[in-house]
Amino acid sequence: HLMDVLSKSRLLPILTIQKREEVENLSKLADVLAKEGLPILEITLRTPFGLEALDYLRDRGLYVGAGTIRTLEHAKEAVARGASFLVSPAYSNDIALFAREHNIPYLPGVLTPQEVELALSRGLSILKFFPAEPFQGSKVLAMYAEVMPEARFLPTGGINEKNLAAYCSLPNVIACGGSWLLKGSYETICQNIRKAKAIVNSLAHG
Ligand code: 3PG
């Protein structure tokens, strides 16, 4: 299901919540995402408000996942609060086993061929390529498309409207994730989403 959602949206907005007020304002953000036809969101657990946000967004019609999952405890908490998918900066065996048991998609962070092969061997099909920009992700992923073509990636880390096309035009990039989509006023967020959608829609993708 996540594969379908991401291959349709081609974008994954990522949100880290710094203040409690932002949790209360999430209904407005949820409306904006729904209105712009991008009803998917990753909430990071980088701050304690992440778990509250998952509670808040439950049953509001958005497809919400939890990110920056670095411990099994956080994975359990996130699933208990309704997260539909789990994203980590690195591969965790404990989290992978837990996610499989609960039938929840798990996207581990990978960079090197070794890490990609490990994640694939554990049956994981969508991998977060992180941190993408500092590691010249679009160049690396173009090479991975040739040597390990079945791997599907969600690059994140430093993606913006300037480099989005270089990633999204690659055959092995299912979608691009980033916080840039959600920066600024609600009006700016709408514009960010529209611009990003125009970019991904302009690319032929197989
Ligand atoms: C992530 O959680 O994947 C990254 O922090 C997103 O990176 P960005 O803030 O550079 O988009």
Q: What is the pLDDT of residues 131-184, one digit of tens each?
A: 999 999 999 999 999 999 999 999 999 999 999 999 999 999 999 999 999 999
Take residue 62 and report the two structure tokens written for it: 């958005």
Complex ipTM: 0.95
The alpha carbon of residue 138 and the mean position of all alpha carbons in its chain are separated, in whole angstroms, by 17
Does ligand 1 have an atom closer than 6 angstroms to the CB of 192?
no
Quote the pLDDT of residue 13.
98
The CA–CA distances, whole Å, from 21 to 24, 27, 63, 151 equal 5, 12, 22, 39
Check residue 64 and report its DSSP letter.
Answer: E
End-to-end alpha carbon distance in the chain: 18
Q: Residue 205: pLDDT above 80? A: no
Q: What is the mean pLDDT of the chain?
A: 96
User: Which residues share a beta bridge with 14?
Assistant: 42
Element containing residue 87 per DSSP (H, E): strand 86-87
- Residue-wise pLDDT for 69-109, tens only, equals 999 999 999 999 999 999 999 999 999 999 999 999 999 99
Nearest-atom number in ligand 1 for the CA of 133 is: 10
Query: How far is it, in rounded angstroms, from Cα 201 to Cα 182?
Result: 19
Q: Which one, of 103, 101, 97, 104, lies nearest residue 83 by Cα?
A: 104
**pLDDT-above-70 percentage for the chain:** 99
Q: Hey, where are the domains in the chain? A: 2-201
Does ligand 1 have an atom closer than 6 angstroms to the CB of 130?
yes
How far, in Å, from the CA of 178 to the mean position of ligand 1? 5
The CA–CA distances, whole Å, from 189 to 29, 43, 120 equal 9, 16, 34
Query: How far is it, in rounded angstroms, from Cα 28 to Cα 33?
Result: 9
Q: What is the mean pLDDT of residues 42-52?
A: 97
Residue 198, classified by CB atoms within 10 Å of its CB into exposed (0-12), middle (13-18) or buried (19+), is exposed
CATH class of the domain at 2-201 = alpha beta
Q: Is beta strand 106-107 parallel, antiparallel or unpaired with respect to 109-110?
A: unpaired
Question: Does the annotation count 42 as an active-site position?
Answer: yes
